[in-house]
Structure 1
């Protein structure tokens, strides 16, 4: 049975989450695996998590997005449910060239979920919609 890289990543994140639940830390071998799969993006993503740069924004209707304050100071919107980030690296390296599975921002979202370090913000449905529309206008 062939194992694809996304399945490997899912398994690694699952094992990391279990380790955090049991010991409140991520074992070194998991961190090594993360660096092997994602290269320097893993270190950059962990840095974003350490700086608590990830915010889960949710609305009463159950919709949610993640916003990541990037190392450049710009905020990017991530949709974990469909593996999307609004940053240029995602558009170029992930979508256009297929060189990477994820950008550092999206990886930081997944790692912050594993480590349970997401900041949380509740907003109205209209505020969430406005956030997405502002993001779209800035991209244009």
Structure 2
């Protein structure tokens, strides 16, 4: 999360800590999330609620996240380099610099904070194919 602003990092940390203690996200943190990330926050929470985030990890330690978007599109995201291949990321984050991240990356951060991402081990060979874009994992 080093590429997120300090405020965003602190907010996600607060959500993680409070959720770990109470299994709930209080309204004030939800409002802060909405204030900071706009409509992406609601969409990201919906993705988390639908368990749309899967963490793929290989024996060599490589890890990527796959998110099934609300439209059913499948995105392989790389949070280590803060990248998602979705059109919103390209337009709002990279081109216009209007957002810190897209709903898919935010869903990954939230699913990690809430420990709600699915975990799927893959072989090193499968990971190589996923990273090269040749194969999409079937989650």
| TM-score of the two chains, using structure 1 as the length reference | 0.90
Aligned residues: 132
**SS of structure 1 residue aligned to 2:126:** helix
Which runs of 5 or more structure 1 residues have no equivalent in the other structure? none
Aligned to 2:66: 67
Q: Which residue of 2 aligns with 1:34?
A: 33
Aligned to 1:122: 121
Unmatched tracts of structure 2, length 5 or more:
none
Matches within 5 A, 1:97-112: 97-112=96-111
Counterparts in 2 of 1:43-58, with a 5 A limit? 43-58=42-57
- Higher relative helix content: 1
Q: Is the 8 A contact 1:66 1:77 kept in 2?
A: yes
Write the distance in 2 (CA, Å) between the matches of 1:81 and 1:134. Answer: 17
Aligned-residue RMSD, C-alpha: 1.4
Task: Answer yes or no: is the 8 Å Cα contact 1:77–1:135 preserved in 2.
Answer: no
Give the match for residue 15 of structure 2: 16
In the aligned structure 1, how far is the partner of 2:72 from the partner of 2:134?
15
Q: For the residues of structure 2 that align with 1:120 and 1:114, how far apart are their CA atoms?
A: 14
**CA separation in 1, counterparts of 2:74 and 2:12?**
24
The corresponding residue for 1:93 is 92
User: Corresponding residue for 1:81?
Assistant: 80
1:111 Cα deviation from its structure 2 partner? 0.5
Supply the distance in 1 between the matched residues of 2:102 and 2:58 (Cα, whole angstroms).
25
Q: Runs in 1 of length 4+ with deviation above 3 angstroms?
A: none
* TM-score of the aligned structures, taking structure 2 as reference length: 0.91
Q: How far does residue 134 in structure 1 lie from its aligned partner after superposition?
A: 2.4
Distance in 2 of aligned mates of 1:135 and 1:44 = 28
Provide the rounded CA distance (Å) in 1 between the counterparts of 2:54 and 2:116.
Answer: 9
